[in-house]
Amino acid sequence: MTTRKKSPRPRTTSKKKSTSFAGGAIPPYGIPIREAIARGDLNEMQRVAAKARRWLADTEAALDELEKYLSSRRA
């Protein structure tokens, strides 16, 4: 019996894997949002929207922090 060699990296071609963000970060683009809309699952769309809003808020806070640091270094 032959055994297949396991790939060192997980496959990312599965549509299910590309949209699974449970506990993870939402990529900074609209693909997960568009895929949720295409599937038409209202609960999923609400979860994706909430995660995207949190990601945007975190990113905006980090950017504000960076701008504050940069402005203090210029003075």
Give the CB-side neighbour count of residue 11, counting CA atoms within 13 A: 6
Q: Is 60 a member of any domain? A: yes
Q: Residue 18: what pLDDT?
A: 46
Q: Residue 3: what pLDDT?
A: 61
Q: Is 64 a member of any domain? A: yes
Q: Residue 2: what pLDDT?
A: 60
Q: Is 58 a member of any domain? A: yes
Q: Residue 43: what pLDDT?
A: 95
Asked whether 32 and 48 are in contact (CB, 8 A), the reply is: yes
Q: Residue 20: what pLDDT?
A: 47
Asked whether 44 and 36 are in contact (CB, 8 A), the reply is: yes
- The number of domains in the chain is 1
The whole-angstrom separation of Cα 9 and Cα 22 is: 19
Asked whether 59 and 51 are in contact (CB, 8 A), the reply is: no
Q: Domain range spanning residue 38? A: 28-74
Asked whether 44 and 20 are in contact (CB, 8 A), the reply is: no
Q: Is 32 a member of any domain? A: yes
Q: Is 66 a member of any domain? A: yes
Q: What is the pLDDT along the chain (75 residues), one digit of tens a residue?
A: 566 665 555 555 544 444 444 566 656 568 888 999 999 999 999 999 998 899 889 999 999 999 999 999 986
Q: Is 39 a member of any domain? A: yes
Q: Residue 4: what pLDDT?
A: 61
